[in-house]
Amino acid sequence: MQKSNKSIAGYHLLMILSSVDGEFAPEEGILIQQYLSEEFPFRVNLDNELETIALLKPEEWKDHFEFHGRCFLDDSTQDEREKFVQFAKTLIKADNKVTDEEHTFYTLLKNLWNIK
């Protein structure tokens, strides 16, 4: 897999976080749009990224998530990672329920980045 920059990696992380519970809630979509507008102030085509994510089988999500977590780690500051983790927390709470799967992936991200 080719290394992604921080913004693309963040998109992959958020899309997987929003999908691991088997449901992509409208509230989650709104937050991902917010992330995209902040990270990409110009028009960017993410069709290839979305296709890559959509073609993943559930058993491939963890490896893909960890890969993009490491990509984000390589290109970010500690402050950026802490802000992203807070945003990810908001994302998984957006539909007013946090599933075990969402919590597992959220915790995986915090552990990968050594955030308490």
Q: For 39-74, how does the pLDDT look when each residue is reduced to its tens digit (9 = 90+)?
A: 887 778 889 999 999 999 999 999 999 999 999 999
CB contact set of 100 (below 8 Å; sequence gap of 6+): none
- Residue range 102-111: average pLDDT? 97
Two structure tokens written together for 87: 């945003």
pTM of the model: 0.93
- Report all structural domains of the chain as residue ranges with CATH numbers, in order of start: 6-112 (1.10.3680)
Q: pLDDT averaged over the chain? A: 93
Judged against a pLDDT cut of 90, whether residue 75 lies above it is answered with yes
From the CB of residue 31, how many other CB atoms can be counted at a distance below 10 Å? 19
Two structure tokens written together for 11: 């998109």
- Helix 78-93 to helix 100-112 angle (10° resolution) is 180
Whats the size of the chain, residue-wise?
116
